[in-house]
Chain A
Amino acid sequence: MRWAVILLTTLLAGCASLGERSSAAEETARSFLQAVADGDGAAACGALAPETEAEIDAPCEQSILSEALTAPSPVADSRVYGQSALVTFADDAVFLAVFRDGWRVVAAGCTSRGERPYDCRIQGG
């Protein structure tokens, strides 16, 4: 009985943790797209993963604003697996990964191509 309680508590904690991680990934994706829509290039670049930022022409703060990313619509779906996440909006998808300071955007402006990798406006090397 005691083991059943411990197991149930652990499972519920796992679910809560997954829910929290999913919300945090959604928030990072939304903030990133909102920063681009608001013309706040510094905030948008600050949300990028290092390799993704390195692929954008310097200065990132200006170049990121010309990437034709759409403003965030309501989240349609979010999937979190281990260190990676995919947040899907009505007309955009954002890939994220966990870094020391939390979620960061790995690729954005992505559209599905079925079994092939997503086609993304910005992504790392």
Chain B
Amino acid sequence: MSTARAERARRPPRLNWRIRLRRDKSLILMTVPAVVLLLAFNYLPLFGLATAFQDYDPLVGVWHSDWVGFDQFRQLFSDPLFWESMKNTLYLSFVQLILFFPVPVALALLLNSVLSERLRNFIQSVAYLPHFFSWVLTITVFQQMLGGAGALNQFLRQHNMGTWDIMTNPHTFALLVTSQAVWKEAGWGIIVFLAALAGINQELYEAAAVDGAGRFRRMWHITLPGMRGVVVLMLVLRLGNALSVGFEQFLIQRDAVGHDAADVLDTFSFYYGIATGNYSYGAAAGLFKSVISLLLIWGANRLAHAFGEDGLYRG
């Protein structure tokens, strides 16, 4: 922080923009490729959202398609398949919040208490690994282990214990996808909580121990308050993303368990928008999801502020 103060002390007087332009022209030039790409592939699609209010015809393009106002939305809200995917999205998101979220926190606490640094590093290396696997690979691994022809059922069959088909059962699908998410991402989730734990002043623990606090009281009064900010931040992010529950994960497994269990808002846009060529309909579903998501981020952030935390942004 001392460098910041030094920097402020030798701040030059404000310059004319022409001089600044000449001084900074290479810096500005450097940002051009990224800005152009973002304009093309992030900002241009924002205007493409106009298709949600049209009856888009790929043959004539956005400019000449008929405007239909809110017709697509009216149709959407009376579509049982849409409400089914909405229900699935919220349900799966809720299950993941309850069953997934605590896992990395607990693992980080556990790992932090491992004293040997080498052992800790080894466990971390293994735990981070699945984060870098693709969803295709992750689901293939699950299929090979738990699927109908997988290792588990192979074992059950050989010992005459019947079979247990987890991969294609729509009723346990929420548990399946949550365990996949835990397998793939919980280890990586540790990283942020470990960083928070490393930021806790170690002298606090010593002082508390001298004062007679046992390990659980130290955890309750030092560790958990020390992690609070990060936990709240992660919760805010999770709530803000509540409507995006692993698109690729569901896309891959939709055929196996059927659409009534695996269709979420994202896959709905894909299957009833792109796959059927009904682009405006899918775009309307996508727009609906984006608006609700923005509201969720805003709301979750307000909630974080109410708890006295920074949340995602201030303001």
- Please say whether chains A and B are actual partners in one complex: no
